[in-house]
Amino acid sequence: MPAHARPPCHKIRAGGVVVAEAAERGNERVSEGDLQLIERARRGEQEAFEQLFLAYYGPVYRVAYGLVASREEAEDLVQETFLALYSDPPQLRPGSSLAAWLCRVALNRGYNALRSARRSRERLELVGRLDAGVADGPEGEFLRAERQGQVRAALAALPERQSHLLLLRYAGLAYAEIAEILHVSPGSVGTLLARAERAFVAAFEPEPAGVA
């Protein structure tokens, strides 16, 4: 990729002010304006790519951070995800979800990296509260350090689809977008999420020994 055409991922850091000001687009369907931006990005227009990056950084970063549990690694994964958008933009129709496409790319690339590094047992870290299956606020509050290992272990014990469900819901994606990513019917997402939440609670807070 020519140096002058490199996407501006390095300009935005997870803890920076610019990220906090970025628009939240995780639960919107792709608009005609986004389709035009994608087409312009396909033609190599860096300004169009930058607008897409700012608009969709939030949900992609939350998915990435949930997978790798490291800010630096999460930012690397976000950059890889948007590089995929830059180098091979998807063909989306009005009503499709660019956020879903980006989060699917982040999930696939993140899991591939974790498998190759043999770190699949540490693949997820839930951020914020899981009592309703979604964190409070756009960023959520980080779990206290002493409980992070327990959360990671509980999520690693879940089937992959259940950990995906919790992570995507935390990222702020709508049921329809989660369904699109995981190839399930939108009407089944609520039930699947409820099961995933129960499984997480059971794994996170196992019954004490000797309890019938």
Give 96's pLDDT tier (boundaries 50, 70, 90).
Answer: confident
Tokens of 128: 């914020």
Question: Which of these ranges, 54-68, 108-122, 147-161, has the smallest mean pLDDT?
Answer: 108-122
pLDDT at residue 137, as a whole number:
46
Number of domains the chain is built from:
2
Any domain includes 135: no
**Are 113 and 149 in a shared domain?**
no
Residues 168 and 105 reside in one and the same domain: no
Are residues 89 and 152 both part of a single domain? no
pLDDT level of residue 140 (50, 70, 90 thresholds): very low
**C-alpha distances in angstroms, 82 versus 65, 99, 193?**
15, 11, 28
Tens digits of per-residue pLDDT, 101-134? 899 899 888 877 766 654 444 444 444 444 434 4
**Residue 18 CB neighbours (<10 A):** 11
Residue 51 lies in a domain: yes
Domain end among 120, 151, 169: 120
- Give the structural domain span for 151: 141-206
> Residue 168 carries which side chain, given as an amino acid letter?
L
Domain boundary among 59, 87, 120: 120
Instruction: Please indicate, yes or no, whether residues 21 and 104 belong to a single structural domain of this protein.
Output: yes
Look at the block and give the residue holding tokens 């974790």.
114
Nearest CA among 5, 180, 3, 177 for reference residue 86: 5
- If you average pLDDT over residues 152-178, what whole number do you get? 84
- DSSP symbols for 146-173: HHHHHHHHHHHHS-HHHHHHHHHHHTT-
Q: Does a structural domain hold residue 5? A: no
